Amino acid sequence: MAKEVVVPPLGQTTAEVTLVHWYKREGDAVQAGEPLYAIETDKAVLDVEAPASGVLRAVSAAEGQTVPVLQSIAVIAAPDEAADAPSAAPGALSPDTPAAAVPAVAPRPAASTPTFEPAPGASVPVAQPAFRTASADATIRRLISPRARRLAEAEGLDWSAVPASGPEGAIIERDVRAALEARDRLSASASASAAEPPALLMVEADMTQALHAVAQLRGSNHPLTITNLLERVVRHVGADDAGFRATLVHRPECVATVFAAPLVAGYSAALGVGRIAERPWTLGGQIVARPICWLALTYDAHTLSEAQANAWLGALQRLIEQPALLLV
């Protein structure tokens, strides 16, 4: 049975790649796992391994040619097997099929989306399993309970970005209700502020010390979560400046790293904090990996100056990066 040679999907943004080099020629014997051809993406040049052992046949892409991911570009046939053109093989992918409409090469575990990111410029042998979880489908698959989905659809809520709190990472009814409340609050405050959206200032914060403080206090009589810490920081800034009355929305499980919280009527600002993610960070001229999160401060531009909001955001960032200052 001939095995198709399919250009692997590479993450979510790469729709097509350049075929740089064939290591084997039509009619050559190939071994499963040995480099078969090289492709170039906008990030890197990668070797792709042969998916099976046999003889390379029906090569349909030339060196230098641009090919869509998931396209079949050759087959590996048994030595005595007649080689059909790839498009005639059962289940073959037509070159005309848009990549986004093609199902994933192999079934993937639900809601698991490891990404494959080679170092720039490196030539990395790509093993088949690395692609199992990537998909031509550009959206990350999210789980939602039937009950939650029913509610979201009845309320006309786009649930794709709703933070999930259910088992197995599923969005459940309470998550949809929370999102609906947030939406209602936003529309209430929007109409209150003459239909003008609130202004937003954002800055990154290095969470190393905050995470260290949480780890230190774990198991003590006064355990602390990142949410607790953020609440204390907001209170601290509010104690220093009576004009700062802010709500806090912490979304550590949010897919987005930036979370802009809706401004609530009666408050001067809203601090939204998303997921902490490891990011390159410069420290003393060196690039190091640090746990980073975005602080997004939404404020009412009608009543507050940008300079005032900027000062608050600076104070918040300073305290979150150096939680020991809370004790001063």
Partner 1 sequence: MPMMSIAEALRLAIREEMERDPRVFCIGEDIGVTGGFGGAFTVTLGLSEQFGHERVLDTPISEIGLAGAAVGAAMAGMRPIADVQYGDFLFCMMDQLANQAAKMTYMSGGTVSVPMVMRAPVGSTRRGSQHAQSLEAFMCHVPGLKVVAPATAYDAKGLLKAAVRDDNPVIVFEHKLLYGSKGARSEKGALSPVGEVPSEDYIVPIGKGIVRREGSDVTIVGKLLTMYQALAAAETLAQEGISAEVIDPRTLVPLDKELILASVRKTGRLVVAEEDNRTCGWAAEIAAMVAEEAFYYLDAPIARVSSIDTPPPFAPVMEAFYLPSADKIVDAVHKLMGKN
Nearer CB in complex with partner 1: 144/309: 144
Residue 225 contacts partner 1 per CB under 8 A = no
Residue 145 contacts partner 1 per CB under 8 A = yes
Nearer CB in complex with partner 1: 170/304: 170
Based on its alpha-carbon atoms, the radius of gyration of the chain, rounded to whole angstroms, reads 26
Residue 121 contacts partner 1 per CB under 8 A = no
CA 287 – CA 255 distance, rounded (Å): 25
Q: How far is the CB of 166 from partner 1 (least distance, A)?
A: 5
Backbone angles phi and psi of 141, in degrees to 5:
-75, 130
Binding-site size, partner 1 (CB under 8 A): 12
The only residue of 166, 238, 252, 291 in contact with partner 1, by rule CB under 8 A: 166
Residue 156 contacts partner 1 per CB under 8 A = no
Q: Return left, alpha or beta for 100; rule: phi > 0 is left, psi -120 to 50 is alpha, else beta.
A: alpha
* Alpha-carbon dihedral angle through residues 190, 192, 193, 198, given to the nearest 10 degrees: -40
Binding track, positions 170-189, relative to partner 1; x by CB under 8 A: x-xx----------------
Place of tokens 């109409």: 191
Residue 245 contacts partner 1 per CB under 8 A = no
The only residue of 148, 207, 234, 263 in contact with partner 1, by rule CB under 8 A: 148
Token readout for 42 is 């906008």
Q: How far is the CB of 184 from partner 1 (least distance, A)?
A: 21
CA 160 – CA 162 distance, rounded (Å): 6
The only residue of 141, 147, 212, 245 in contact with partner 1, by rule CB under 8 A: 147
Q: Nearest-CA neighbor of 53 among 99, 120, 3?
A: 3
Token readout for 223 is 């355990």
Q: How far is the CB of 107 from partner 1 (least distance, A)?
A: 20
Residue 33 contacts partner 1 per CB under 8 A = no
H/E element, 296: strand 286-299
Which residues make up the interface to partner 1 (CB under 8 A)?
A: 145-150, 165-167, 170, 172-173
